[in-house]
Structure 1
Amino acid sequence: MKNMLYKIILLLFLIISPFLLLHAQISPPGLGKAKTASWSALGLKRQLDSTGKKEALTYLGLGTKSTPDDSNPFHKQAIFVLNHEVYHKFAKNQQYSYALSYRRQNVYDADAPYHGEGVEQEFRLYGRYAYTFRFGERWKWKNTVRQEFRKFFTADFKEAEENFQLRTRLKTQVNLKLSDKNKQELAFSAEGLFAVSKMYEPKDEWSKFAYKESRLALYYMTDIPNTPLHVDVGYMNDLIKGYRQADFGVHYLAVDLIWNLPYKKKH
Structure 2
Amino acid sequence: MIYSKVIVSVGIAVICLFGTKGLSQISSPGMGDAKTASWFALGLKQDFGREKKWESVSYIGLGRKSNPDEYNLVHKPSIFVINQEFFHQFHNRWQYSLGFSYRKQHEYTSTYPYVHKNPEFRQELRSYGRIRYSLGNDPVKATFQFREEFRKFYGPRFRSFSEDLQFRSRLRMQLTWSINSTKTHRLIASAEALFSISKKHAPEQWTTFAYRESRFSLYYSLHPSSVPITFNIGYMNNLLGNHSPHSVHYLAFDIIFTNVFSSQKVKSQ
Structure-1-length-normalised TM-score = 0.88
Which residue, out of 258, 261, 264, partners 2:259?
261
Deviation at 1:180, TM superposition (A): 3.0
Q: Is the 8 A contact 1:129 1:144 kept in 2?
A: yes
Deviation at 1:263, TM superposition (A): 6.0
How many residues matched?
252
**Larger CA deviation: 192-201 vs 224-233:** 224-233
Alignment of 1:60-99 (within 5 A): 60-99=60-99
Deviation at 1:47, TM superposition (A): 1.2
Q: Is the 8 A contact 2:234 2:252 kept in 1?
A: yes
Aligned partner of residue 181 in structure 1, secondary structure: coil
Q: Per the alignment, do residues 232 and 61 of structure 1 end up closer, same or farther by CA in structure 2, a change over 3 Å counting?
A: same
Q: Is the 8 A contact 1:50 1:263 kept in 2?
A: no
Query: Counterpart in 2 of 1:150?
Result: 151
Partner Cα distance (1:6, 1:179) in 2: 30
Partner Cα distance (2:149, 2:187) in 1: 27
Query: Counterpart in 1 of 2:266?
Result: none
Percent sequence identity is 40
Partner Cα distance (1:182, 1:103) in 2: 33
Letter in 1 for 2:158: F
Partner Cα distance (1:127, 1:245) in 2: 28
Q: Per the alignment, do residues 6 and 189 of structure 1 end up closer, same or farther by CA in structure 2, a change over 3 Å counting?
A: closer
Letter in 2 for 1:63: G
Letter in 2 for 1:157: F
Deviation at 1:52, TM superposition (A): 2.5
**Larger CA deviation: 176-185 vs 69-78:** 176-185
Deviation at 1:243, TM superposition (A): 8.0
In angstroms, what is the RMSD of aligned CA positions? 2.3
**Larger CA deviation: 216-225 vs 55-64:** 216-225
Structure 1 residue 25 and structure 2 residue 25: aligned? Answer: yes
CA offsets 1:71-104 (integer angstroms, 9 cap, x no match): 0100010000000000000001000000010000
Partner Cα distance (1:70, 1:58) in 2: 33
The runs of 4+ residues in structure 1 deviating greater than 3 Å are: 1-4, 6-11, 242-246, 262-265
Deviation at 1:8, TM superposition (A): 6.3
Partner Cα distance (1:3, 1:146) in 2: 20
Q: Is the 8 A contact 2:2 2:245 kept in 1?
A: no
